Structure formats: C-alpha cells, structure tokens
Structure 1
C-alpha cells in the first residue's frame, strides 16, 4: 500500500500566550476551514495534529490549540512545522480551470505538436502569477513558464499531461545552453 499524498495547508508559527496555543498561517481559501480536513500531519506523516480549537486572528492567521499541547514551551517547539492534509480529504476544485498545485507536479509536458518537453517539478509564485517549473527531458536544467491559458492551453490531470505553447524562445535558450553555446 502506498502512502497517501499529503498537501501542505498551513504552517505553525510562534506560540500565542502561555496555555499552549500557537499561531498558524493557513493556506486554505477559507482559513478557518483548516480544521475540516481531519487529523493533520507533518511533512513525513509521522506526527499527527488534532485541532482542539481555533479562532481567526487576522487575514490568513489563526490561533490554534492542538490536542496534547498545553504549555507555551510545547507550543514553541512546534514553530515552523508544516501542517499537511491527505489529498483525498480536500474538496474537489469548483471550476474547470482550478487545480491544486500538487496535482500538477509530476505531469508530463508536451508542445502543441506533441514533442516531449519534460515534467512539472514545482509551481512557483513570486507575487504575480503562478509559474510552472519544468524539468527538461534529458537535462538537469529546468525552465519556468507562465501558468496562463495562453502558455498552457491544455491541462489533463487525469491523462497525466499538460500541453504548452511557450513564449517564443523560452525553450530555445535552454536547448542552446545544453549544447554549450551562448549569446
């Protein structure tokens, strides 16, 4: 049996008060839904976290009390721990063009003409739009492509692939670099 896929939905921050509460940054659309996904775990799935109570603090920040955490010292020891939910505990996406980042990672990437490009290794966002990091086939290098309908016209999660129409030169530069040429 394979381990369930885990999706990070929050991260524990600093202790809040002296009774074991922590600040938690939620990555969910509705921050207070953090407690709706059953027991949470750390990245390895080795530690389980059950939410005893939570309340909004500000924006995407919550004050959370975890079962078994009763002191400030115990809460401080959790600072920086990521909170993960099982992928199958998350609701389906509502719109046709909404995707969980984790569902995109590992998908094969091909061009409009069917040429294999590589695989998606991560989804980045540096403050503007999402970018797909694509590890090029046969190369150690990766490229970033905008995750827009124009650059990625087909996303077929069930089929395990995306089709890209990259901006002119986006893949050419990577090919030149792999041949050892430069401009």
Structure 2
C-alpha cells in the first residue's frame, strides 16, 4: 500500500519532526496511502465553481471538531493577495485537501479565522491560493504564520477501500499475524517511494526504566495485510524482534 501523499519528503528511518508552523505533537495530515503498485497524480489546480464564494476572512470562536492541520502560510505570493502555503506534506504530489476544499480555517496563537478559498494550485513544493477578502500583498502578508486547517469531513473522497488518509491511520493499534501487539501508529513517514508506519510501544532500559520504543514498518502490501478501520487495528507480517 505505497504512498501517494501529499508526501512530506522525510528520509527513510528518520524520526519525524514538525515543520515550521506545525505543533510539535501534531501528526502529518492530508496525505494518504493506497494499495501496492499504483500512484495517482493530483489535480494541478482547484478553482471555485461558477459561483463566486460569498464572504471574506472572518474571525471565529472555534474550529470544527474534525479540523485537521494541513499546512501553514509561509508568505505572500505576487501582488494580488495570493498566499503561499507550505503543506505538511508535499503539495507537488498531492495536497488534495487544500486543492479541493473551499473552506479553510486559519490559526495563529489565539487568532482564529474562517476563510473561503477561491482558487488554489500547486507551485513548486508549495501551494498558492487566493482567499476571498485577501485582495493585495499587504493583506496576504498579514496572514503569514497562520496554520491552515480543513475539516476532515471535507477531505476529497478516496477511490476505494485500499486507500487511507494518514490522519486516519494515526493512533491505530498494530499487531502481527500471530496476534502479538507491536504498538500504536504515532506518525507516518514518506521516503519518496512509499509510506512508513512509525510505531511506538512501551519498553524498558536494562535498568528497568520505562522508555518508548519505536518500530518502522513500510506501508506496503508485503508487510501490511489488513487495515481494519472499524476496529482501528492494522495487521502486519512483522516479528516483534525485527
């Protein structure tokens, strides 16, 4: 079930680190993995429908309960109010949520805003977007540093049951085919070829001090046998002493 993304380009085996603008304990969101042997290229741009979205950027008290952080605004883009967004996964390989969803939530410290995305497209390793009510470069610069959130319920529908958004895999319990518990998915890593499950499990030092152990299991069909969404469990062909 190799990766398709938005990929984050981390090196194989690297401990995942948050990107600028991403909370330290936040997972990489928005990307998805799919069954072996298939890669799909994301749409290059997403524009508003024939109707012009109403409303501009407005303050809100809180975000939707299923809001997922997908990137952060790094800079203004051009002179007409476009913003440059660095996705927490590589927009060039996907960024489906930001390219498809028209309602964004922007957060910076205690500042929360609702924004309508009028148009978005891939630009190099980033995504550039035009937001309603953001009409010039100064307005775009004022949004610099805000994280971008999208409701999970608004994410584009995946093609089939063998595709999974990373955010849905985070927190799943992992066990092998012999029923041995291997830990819980703490994060996903992408090495450019496929996704990797980063699994954490309780361990101990030689002195008996508790520590958190880590396993890295490629998310490919030869190792990953079953993903049970309802039970939030992943079955893998992997020994505990690997």
For the criterion TM > 0.5, the same-fold answer is yes
Q: Does 1:51 align with 2:141?
A: no
With over 3 angstroms needed to count, the CA separation of the structure-2 counterparts of 1:58 and 1:17, relative to structure 1, is: closer
Aligned to 2:231: 159
Structure with larger Rg: 1
If the length of structure 1 is used for normalisation, what is the TM-score? 0.73
How many Å apart are 1:87 and its aligned residue? 0.9
Correspondence for 1:146 among 200, 214, 218:
218
Aligned to 2:101: 37
Q: Does 1:172 align with 2:241?
A: yes
Aligned length: 168
If the length of structure 2 is used for normalisation, what is the TM-score? 0.58
How many Å apart are 1:80 and its aligned residue? 4.7
Alpha-carbon separation, structure 2, partners of 1:52 and 1:91 = 15
**Deviates most, 42-51 or 84-93:** 42-51
Contact 1:107 1:120 in 2 (8 A): yes
With over 3 angstroms needed to count, the CA separation of the structure-2 counterparts of 1:161 and 1:84, relative to structure 1, is: same
With over 3 angstroms needed to count, the CA separation of the structure-2 counterparts of 1:130 and 1:43, relative to structure 1, is: farther
How many Å apart are 1:126 and its aligned residue? 2.5
Q: Does 1:101 align with 2:101?
A: no
Aligned to 2:52: none
Q: CA RMSD in A?
A: 3.1
Q: Does 1:24 align with 2:63?
A: no
Alpha-carbon separation, structure 2, partners of 1:103 and 1:118 = 16
Contact 2:73 2:147 in 1 (8 A): yes
SS in 1 for 2:212: coil
Contact 1:38 1:85 in 2 (8 A): no
Alpha-carbon separation, structure 2, partners of 1:142 and 1:65 = 41
How many Å apart are 1:55 and its aligned residue? 5.0
Alpha-carbon separation, structure 2, partners of 1:43 and 1:122 = 22
Q: For structure 1, which runs of at least 5 residues remain unmatched after alignment?
A: 174-183
Aligned to 2:187: 122
Aligned to 1:131: 196
User: Whose RCO is larger (CA < 8 A, sep 6+)?
Assistant: 2
Aligned to 1:113: 178
Alpha-carbon separation, structure 2, partners of 1:43 and 1:153 = 38
